[in-house]
């Protein structure tokens, strides 16, 4: 997917998907006022898919770690976990497939430094195109990850550790890029 890079005053590099991708959007859905309890997965009921754009806002929280899992099964397992560790100041993307090699389970496939400023919300723009997942984090970081999944595993859930969190999401189904 094409990216737009901008260097702001102060030397901050901004990374965003190009605006032209918005022409691929259809069927917008919103889920707001979500409260995710610490240690419990919160599965989105109306929003799922493997050709979708997600725009999550996770409000500033006291949680130690939290994230979004995409392409997961009905039990919220075997997905791709996009995980923010506040203590470690990192964003990780982990494939949580049930694999036979115990050392391979939950291995971080992508890991990047990332620190939220005080009282800053976490914004995750997630583009899923079948098995390719692109994640834009607060317009300051981007991660691309491949995740092979069964066609029926298209669930999305949020999770939190060490504190509750509040979130909202706007989603759009995405048309094939050959329909531009």
Q: So where are the chain's domains?
A: 25-171
pTM: 0.89
For residue 101, the model assigns a pLDDT of 42
| pLDDT score of 178 | 57
Structure tokens at 110: 């992508």
Q: What is the pLDDT of residue 107?
A: 52
The pLDDT value given to residue 9: 83
The torsion angles phi and psi of 38, rounded to 5 degrees, stand at: -55, 130
Question: What's the pLDDT tens digit per position in 89-135?
Answer: 999 999 887 444 444 555 547 888 898 888 899 999 999 999 999 99
Residues 18, 108: Cα–Cα separation, whole Å: 27
- CA–CA distance, 70 with 76 (Å, rounded to integer): 9
- Cβ–Cβ under 8 Å, residues 125 and 28: no
pLDDT at residue 62, rounded to an integer: 87
What are the per-10-residue average pLDDT scores of the chain (180 residues)? 88 90 94 95 95 95 92 94 92 74 55 88 95 94 91 96 95 76
Cβ(130)–Cβ(148) below 8 Å = no
What's the CATH fold of domain 25-171?
Answer: Jelly Rolls (2.60.120)
């Amino acid at each position: 997917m094409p990216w737009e890079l901008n260097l702001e005053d102060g030397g901050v590099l901004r990374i965003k998907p190009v605006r032209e991708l918005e022409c691929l959007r259809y069927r917008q859905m919103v889920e707001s006022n979500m409260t995710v309890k610490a240690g419990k997965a919160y599965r989105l009921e109306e929003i799922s898919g493997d050709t979708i754009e997600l725009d999550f806002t996770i409000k500033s929280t006291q949680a130690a770690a939290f994230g979004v899992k995409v392409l997961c099964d009905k039990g919220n397992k075997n997905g791709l976990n996009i995980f923010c560790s506040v203590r470690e100041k990192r964003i990780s993307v982990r494939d949580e497939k049930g694999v036979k090699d115990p050392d391979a389970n939950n291995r971080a496939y992508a890991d990047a430094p990332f620190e939220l400023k005080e009282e800053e919300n976490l914004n995750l723009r997630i583009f899923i195109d079948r098995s390719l997942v692109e994640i834009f984090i607060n317009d300051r970081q981007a991660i691309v990850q491949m995740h092979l999944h069964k066609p029926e595993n298209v669930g999305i859930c949020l999770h939190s550790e060490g504190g509750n969190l509040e979130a909202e999401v706007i989603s759009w189904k995405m048309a094939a890029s050959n329909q531009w």
